[in-house]
Structure 1
Amino acid sequence: MPTNTVPVLDDRALNRATLARQALLAPTGRSVLDTVSLLGGLQAQEPQEPFVGLWSRLRSFDPAELSELLTSRRVVRIHLMRRTVHLVTAEDALAWRSRFDAMLRRKVMGVYRGDLQEVDLDELAETGRAVMADGEPRTMAELVAALSHRWPQAGRRPLGEMLVSALLPVAQVPPRGLWRAGGGVRNVLLSSWLGREVDPPAPEGTDPVGRALVRRYLAAYGPATSTDLRSWCGLAGLPAAVAAAREELVSFRDQRGRELLDLPEAPRPDPGTPAPVRFLPAFDNAVLGYHDRNRIIDGEHRGLSVAGARVVLVDGRVRATWRSEDGAVAVTPLGTLTAPERSQVIEQAERLALFLSEGGSDRARIVADDRP
């Protein structure tokens, strides 16, 4: 008998590992700041969604705590993973932003190459930084208005997108992202907002941030493939970082034969561990943070994860969607729920309704299912 057989983890085992690390198997007693750090940030292009994501994960969550972290500049809203807006700690924003620079440029150019092909991006970045150097928050339109005369052929939208989501390390400042607060996007240089420049790129041939991202990703999402890692962060140049960290990692196979990497001491619960009902916000990385999402969502429903649907986990898997309407939380199952499952969903939906209404309503209802 072979003695070096690599252990196989099926989708249910991977599901329970993900839930445990995402604080969705049991709520965490960590602080809001530590939870944002643990998760490597929360996707946040919809400003109110991180509040639900944290409510679903913390034993006790006061939304004012997250708002205070934003106003005190200990967490920031920034374009980062996959060129989407993420809520990350100030420390991670400063440490990681330079490593994402090439990917962010590439993503914008993929959309606006025809508009920007005659633009010298280094000159555009220098000009934009000079405009922003006074530390005053600006909308994208205000920023572009101050410099678009130099590149009239490019169009304002392409120039603005390249500046605020790629060329300039900027934060989106409050009131954007505060609990129950409105406000459009206003951008300020991270160096002005946080009091120091972002960390410079590492010397050629080294990648300390890449190695850190490998470990941080596996701590929050593992076991996972290197392709999953790339899908989470959007970075193409991580094979060397994975190779450099490999001696620190353990290896498994999934039921399709692909190699999974993980941290040796990270939790991998028994696949039979019960999983409570959990309500997730739009674009939650517990679903989006993988290339292969079979551990948490069926292939036929995969499109929900990129369409902005808010989903409900039942026994650890996406089994329904939810929305808030008229002071109630309405749940639409994706298939038949058993009577106990329906009761658990309604109970959790009532708790969510209380949270969203700040105690004003606990109304919840299941609006459809496929039972006769």
Structure 2
Amino acid sequence: MPTLSLRALNRATLQRQWLLERQDRTALETIEHLLGMQAQLPLAPYVGLWTRLNGFKPQELVDLLEGRQAVRGSMMRATIHLMSSRDFLGIRPLVQPCMDREIYQNQSYGRKRLEGLDMNAVVAAGAALMAESPRTAVELREALGPMWPDREPPSLAHAVRCLLPTIQIPPRGIWGKGGHPTMSTAELWLGQSTEAMPIDDVVLRYFQAYGPASVLDVQAWSGLTRLGEVVERLRPQLRTYTAPDGRELFDLASASLPDEDVPAPARFLPEFDNVLLAHADRTRFIDDTLRGRLLIEERMSRGAVLYDGRVAALWKLVRTGRDKGLEVEAVTPLSADATASIEAEGNELLDFALPGSPLRFVPVP
């Protein structure tokens, strides 16, 4: 098994993620290729598509959401993802164990707060309420609370959100609009029930978009466990490599690897982009020391800037009154060339998101 350097892994994943060269693809193709996009922050996927595609316009994603070809809902790791409707219907049942853990192991909402409760009755009541009309979390709490007066309404509403295949419907997630998260179910919104696609197909698609990767990486991305037996079943279709630390890595047998010295341009990633979350070992993109510092400082809710394929800065759009613009904060020392490259890409992002606004660069302390 050939040993791959961190730089080789970096370039391979950047290529799979369409971050070496922007692609002439549709937004729907991209969402499906990436197996969904993190969407806790409603507008993050727009930046994620802009940074990967030539000529992406926000209206393309708006049309997908309003036309119900794409949806936003709880998916991998019990977090909100933008998915194609096809993938939501097929993958949502597979990640139900993540949702169960979110309910029954979550100290804030689950465990003792739901102990002894007839959860089937709670779920049925939530489904009936959403059949009447889409509901916000507050509306679910207010309606479910009186039905179980000895229970905490937030726990009841959270159980409904996780145990049903809920979707956050527009205008949430629509460019230029806002609104509280309002939920419906897949059956109500899409007119179809969920039906699990083969887990083997999902794992193969993961390697296509995020490989080469280990079993632990697949599990970190999906939030599922015991995927080693799935990968073993797929081994005849896979090629194996060795990571710098000796871990076994897997990839599609048909997948090629780019030269590890291929240039990697500056790229602005949206908040919580899966490319930085989809591996248990993230050292191909960020050093553990830097990652720990950024997490401790709770700054990873900002977008990340890649330079030469690695996290070099954080960014955020500022929209407060007249104070509009893009703030870029370096987290590692940057050369003059790196600063110029990041500034140039940042100005392109401003043209996309806040035309006519300035860029402010904050150097590393």
Matched, 1:57 2:52: yes
SS at match of 1:133: helix
Comparing 298-307 with 48-57, which one deviates more in the overlay?
298-307
Q: Deviations over 1:174-216 (max 9, x none)?
A: 00000021100100111011111111x5xxxxxx531112111
Aligned amino acid, residue 194 of structure 2: V
Matched, 1:324 2:317: yes
Structure 1 267/162 Cα, relative in aligned 2: closer, same or farther at 3 Å?
farther
**Alpha-carbon distance in structure 2 between the residues aligned to 1:97 and 1:44:** 15
**Alpha-carbon distance in structure 2 between the residues aligned to 1:153 and 1:10:** 57
**1:151-230 to 2 correspondences below 5 Å:** 151-164=148-161, 166-199=162-195, 209-230=198-219
**1:84-95 to 2 correspondences below 5 Å:** 84-95=79-90
Aligned amino acid, residue 236 of structure 1: T
Contact 1:36 1:42 in 2 (8 A): yes
SS at match of 1:15: helix
How far did residue 273 of structure 1 move? 0.4
Q: Aligned to 1:301, which of 263, 275, 290?
A: 290
For residue 15 of structure 2, what is the aligned residue in structure 1? Answer: 20
Normalised to the residue count of structure 2, the TM-score between the two structures is 0.93
SS at match of 1:34: helix
For residue 47 of structure 1, what is the aligned residue in structure 2? Answer: 42
Contact 2:141 2:157 in 1 (8 A): yes
Q: Aligned to 1:290, which of 237, 254, 279?
A: 279
Aligned amino acid, residue 322 of structure 1: W
For residue 78 of structure 2, what is the aligned residue in structure 1? Answer: 83
Aligned residues: 354
Root mean square deviation of aligned Cα: 1.5
**Alpha-carbon distance in structure 1 between the residues aligned to 2:147 and 2:111:** 18
For residue 310 of structure 1, what is the aligned residue in structure 2? Answer: 303
Contact 2:144 2:157 in 1 (8 A): no
How far did residue 102 of structure 1 move? 2.4
Contact 1:170 1:188 in 2 (8 A): yes
Q: Aligned to 1:280, which of 269, 273, 276?
A: 269
For residue 128 of structure 1, what is the aligned residue in structure 2? Answer: 126
SS at match of 2:198: helix
Contact 2:76 2:98 in 1 (8 A): no
**Alpha-carbon distance in structure 2 between the residues aligned to 1:121 and 1:301:** 42
Comparing 294-303 with 87-96, which one deviates more in the overlay?
294-303
Contact 1:224 1:261 in 2 (8 A): yes
**Alpha-carbon distance in structure 2 between the residues aligned to 1:92 and 1:216:** 12
SS at match of 2:65: helix
For residue 255 of structure 1, what is the aligned residue in structure 2? Answer: 244
SS at match of 2:19: coil
For residue 32 of structure 1, what is the aligned residue in structure 2? Answer: 27
Aligned amino acid, residue 220 of structure 1: A
For residue 353 of structure 1, what is the aligned residue in structure 2? Answer: 350
**Alpha-carbon distance in structure 2 between the residues aligned to 1:281 and 1:260:** 27
Aligned amino acid, residue 263 of structure 1: L
Contact 1:275 1:316 in 2 (8 A): yes
SS at match of 2:40: coil
**Alpha-carbon distance in structure 2 between the residues aligned to 1:137 and 1:222:** 38
Unmatched runs of 5 consecutive residues or more in structure 1:
1-5, 202-207
**Alpha-carbon distance in structure 1 between the residues aligned to 2:331 and 2:40:** 25
SS at match of 2:95: helix
Contact 1:74 1:89 in 2 (8 A): yes
Normalised to the residue count of structure 1, the TM-score between the two structures is 0.92
How far did residue 329 of structure 1 move? 1.4
Contact 2:105 2:111 in 1 (8 A): yes
Contact 1:11 1:255 in 2 (8 A): yes
How far did residue 265 of structure 1 move? 1.9
Matched, 1:116 2:105: no
**Alpha-carbon distance in structure 1 between the residues aligned to 2:13 and 2:144:** 46
